[in-house]
Amino acid sequence: MTANIPLQIPVAADLKAPTASAPLPSTAPQGGSAARYPFAFALTLTGLAGFLDAAAYVRFNHLYVSFMSGNSTHLGISVADWAVPDLVAVLGVISAFVAGSAVGTWVADHFGARLIVRVLALEAGLFAAAILASLASLSLFCVMIVALTMGIQNVLHQAVGGVDVGKGFVTGMLFRFGQSIARISEAKVTWPNASTSLLNWLAFVGGAALGAVAIRLLDFTACLVIGFCLIVAMLVVVPLRHR
């Protein structure tokens, strides 16, 4: 899955551009968007994905809402065991995430100039729907809505030093960090560049830790309310010039 509008900001003053000997993904804006926003914004999105993943994992029998690699493993085990209820639930969540990535990509392709505010507003509406579904005890529907939201959210990533920040792709974060470590010794990558992957991973782990604590103290509905409030706060706080 790829997002269509990578956004580039510097992590540190000595960040170097990719060289021919160490090609990195393009960070040039696409779709006519010149929007830029703080690095912390993208890390917050990663943390939110980890927060909701942990809460859903604990509450809904090891289902994730953003970590589809984990759900794919879960799906394979369900197929092997022919655990039909689990199979249906995991397929539903994966399908919702894919649908969300499609919706988010369509929004990015057609409304790139105001991508951030449109996506955050859409997320806020979906969080409200998920809260209502949770209150009505429509558990699978609730989790599918959150997975849909996480799929949409991935279009708000930033490409910083060739690293996608703002996505919940944990394996990719660690692999990229390992690649960067190998290339630092050859001066192909700077440490600020390499640390971007590490910070992204730490944001996800930190969010997951908070989610695990929250779901033990609160219910899943309350976790969704926290996510909703965070998205609304981002809508208010992100300066207009960054939208």
Burial class (CB within 10 angstroms; exposed 0-12, middle 13-18, buried 19+) of 241: exposed
The structural domain count of the chain equals: 1
pLDDT score for 194:
72
Residue 192 lies in a domain: no
- Cα gap 197→102, rounded to integer Å: 25
Residue 172 lies in a domain: no
At residue 154's C-alpha, the angle toward residues 149 and 156, to 5°, is 110
Which residue matches tokens 């984990």?
70
Residue 47 lies in a domain: yes
Residue 241 lies in a domain: no
Residue 175 lies in a domain: no
User: Tokens for 10?
Assistant: 């510097």
How many helices (H) and strands (E) would you count in the chain? 8, 2
Nearest CA among 125, 110, 204 for reference residue 157:
204
Residue 117: give the domain boundaries: 39-157+209-232
pLDDT digit string, tens, across residues 8-30: 333 333 333 334 334 433 333 33
Residue 179 lies in a domain: no
Residue 116 lies in a domain: yes
pLDDT score for 4:
40
Q: What pTM was computed for the model? A: 0.79
pLDDT tens for the 243 residues of the chain, in order? 333 433 333 333 333 333 433 443 333 333 333 345 667 888 899 999 999 999 999 999 899 999 999 999 999 999 999 999 999 999 999 999 999 999 998 988 887 667 888 889 999 999 999 999 999 999 999 999 999 999 999 888 765 445 555 566 777 788 878 887 887 777 666 777 778 888 888 999 999 999 999 999 999 999 999 999 999 998 888 755 554
For the chain, the distance separating the N- and C-terminal CA atoms, rounded to the nearest angstrom, is: 23
pLDDT score for 60:
93
Which residue matches tokens 């912390």?
40
Residue 6 lies in a domain: no
Can you name the residues that pair with 160 across neighbouring β-strands? 163
